[in-house]
Amino acid sequence: MKELVALHRERTQREATVTLGSSGLLAKQIEQGAPFDVLFSANVAFVDKLISQKLGVAQSRALYARGRIVLWSKAGGIQPPDSLRDLTDARFKRIAIANPEHAPYGLAAQQALQKLGLWESVRDRLVFGENVGQTLQFAQTGNAEAAIVALSLAIATPQGSWALLDEQLHQPIDQGLMVVAASADVPGASAFTGLVTGKDGRAILQRYGFVLPGEALDPTLLEKTRGRVPR
């Protein structure tokens, strides 16, 4: 997002201010009248709900990525897990995921653990981040031995080791955006979303593993960012 904002500034000489949070809580703030201009949601369902409530500009709706989740651990710590099944090992005393109630990446983590029959065995050791960024911080600071987070965060965080999880383990994380209907500058907001979904914006997103359905991840991302495909 920092790179997208910088590109927007370069193209328009206008500044964009970013507020980070879980998709569900940001959507709720828009329902309560928060003065946002654009919503980037990790689950397009939140965008669709707001549009159905006339709180979003229907024509602005766009899918900007299909997210992926990874199993992340701090570099230099305990032996990193190779798969979700490794999390049943006693060395993982705390496992961080985003709160599944309002964070789409947390819901995907829950679904993956349930799909493998691991949810109940690790449930007592789970710590919940308010959003996926805070979830990563738990593992970075040693408050969790492992975390299930977004691929994009793993790519942007060089101090860790991560394994890409099979996307068949969870529902697709289709990420959507929209312009907020109550925006004080709908044309300006639309210009920003157009930049993000355009060629140059897509190139930035792809570098962080944000690909659209049907697009393949750049295989060099794994090598460049200490990632791996689990066994």
Tell whether 88 and 167 lie within a shared domain: yes
- Tell me which residue range forms the domain holding 187: 2-66+173-215
How many domains, the chain?
2
Q: Are 129 and 140 in contact (CB under 8 A)?
A: no
CA distance 116 to 114: 5
Residue in 155, 158, 159 with CA at minimum distance from that of residue 142? 159
Tell whether 129 and 140 lie within a shared domain: yes
**C-alpha separations of 150 from 31, 82, 190 in Å:** 26, 16, 26
pLDDT digits (tens, 9 = 90+) for 34-73: 999 999 999 999 999 999 999 999 999 999 999 999 999 9
CA distance 177 to 25: 15
User: Helix %, strand %, coil % for the chain, to 5?
Assistant: 45, 20, 35
pTM, whole model, 2 decimals?
0.89
pLDDT mean across residues, the chain: 94
Tell whether 35 and 104 lie within a shared domain: no
Tell whether 132 and 157 lie within a shared domain: yes
* pLDDT reading at 222 higher than 60: yes
Tell whether 24 and 108 lie within a shared domain: no
Tell whether 163 and 179 lie within a shared domain: no
Average pLDDT over residues 167-187: 96
* pLDDT reading at 79 higher than 80: yes
The pLDDT, as a whole number, for residue 230 is: 59
Beta-carbon contacts of residue 86 (< 8 Å; ≥ 6 apart): 92
